[in-house]
């Protein structure tokens, strides 16, 4: 009876290991495809930003041209941070909280600047946006300070 249970346990352990290996391979494949897509987007975005630099000077108003330039550059920073998060996942098989918070900070700053350029922001809105960004920065600072790498 024990022999039979032992063989069942070992065969289920082998099947679980095979299933886990298949899962890890599938995750790696999907993450590789996402990284490739993000890199292609980053290169295309960078190329388009450089091509549109000339349009910045020929816009009817320089303010519109600068708004487009800032929007494109901040979007590229966000994509770059996303690529960094995926590469970090490949290296240590986990996503660090500080990288996610940096992405949040970049995204919040981008949105805040867009709202400022469109002049659709009241004083109270600006105050709350600033508080949110400050909270993200404080969270990132705490994540770096109490990182598992620093503790151990």
- Per-residue burial over 17-42, b if 16 or more Cβ lie within 10 Å, else e, is eeeeeeeeeeeeeeeeeebeebeeeb
Mean pLDDT of 14-19: 87
Q: Which residue has the higher pLDDT, 4 or 42?
A: 42
Q: How far apart are CA 121 and CA 132, in angstroms?
A: 15
Q: How confident is the model at residue 138 (pLDDT cuts 50, 70, 90)?
A: very high
Between residues 136 and 85, the one the model is more confident about: 136
> DSSP per residue over 44-55, as a string?
HHHHHHHHTHHH
**Sequence ranges of the domains in the chain:** 15-95, 97-152
Q: What is the mean pLDDT of residues 20-37?
A: 89
Per-residue model confidence (pLDDT) at position 1? 47
**Can you give the C-alpha Rg of the chain in angstroms?**
23
In 3D space, the residue among 100, 40, 50, 39 whose CA is nearest the CA of residue 72 turns out to be 50
Q: What is the dihedral of CA 21, 27, 31, 34, to 10 degrees?
A: 140
| pLDDT per residue as tens digits for the range 39-52 | 898 899 888 888 87
Handedness of CA 79, 80, 84, 86 (dihedral sign): positive
Residue 121 has pLDDT above 60, yes or no: yes
Could you report the per-residue pLDDT of 45-83, keeping only the tens digit for each? 888 888 877 776 676 766 677 778 888 888 888 888 888
By CB neighbour count within 10 A (0-12 exposed, 13-18 middle, 19+ buried), where does 106 fall? buried
* pLDDT band per the 50, 70, 90 thresholds, residue 141: very high
Q: What integer best gives the mean pLDDT of the chain?
A: 83
pTM: 0.70
Give the Cα separation of 130 and 128 in Å (integer). Answer: 5
């Amino acid at each position: 009876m024990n022999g039979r249970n032992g063989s069942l346990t070992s065969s289920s352990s082998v099947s679980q290991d095979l299933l886990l290996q298949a899962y890890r391979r599938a995750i790696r494949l999907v993450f590789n495809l996402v990284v490739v897509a993000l890199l292609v987007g980053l290169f295309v975005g960078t190329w388009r930003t450089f091509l549109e630099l000339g349009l910045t000077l020929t816009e009817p108003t320089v303010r519109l041209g600068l708004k487009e330039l800032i929007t494109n550059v901040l979007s590229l920073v966000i994509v770059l941070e996303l690529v960094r998060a995926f590469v970090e996942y490949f290296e240590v098989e986990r996503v660090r909280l500080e990288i996610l918070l940096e992405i949040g900070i970049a995204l919040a700053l981008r949105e805040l600047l867009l709202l400022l350029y469109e002049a659709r922001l009241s004083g109270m809105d600006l105050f709350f946006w600033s508080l949110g960004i400050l909270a993200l920065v404080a969270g990132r600072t705490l994540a770096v300070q109490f990182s598992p790498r620093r503790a151990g």
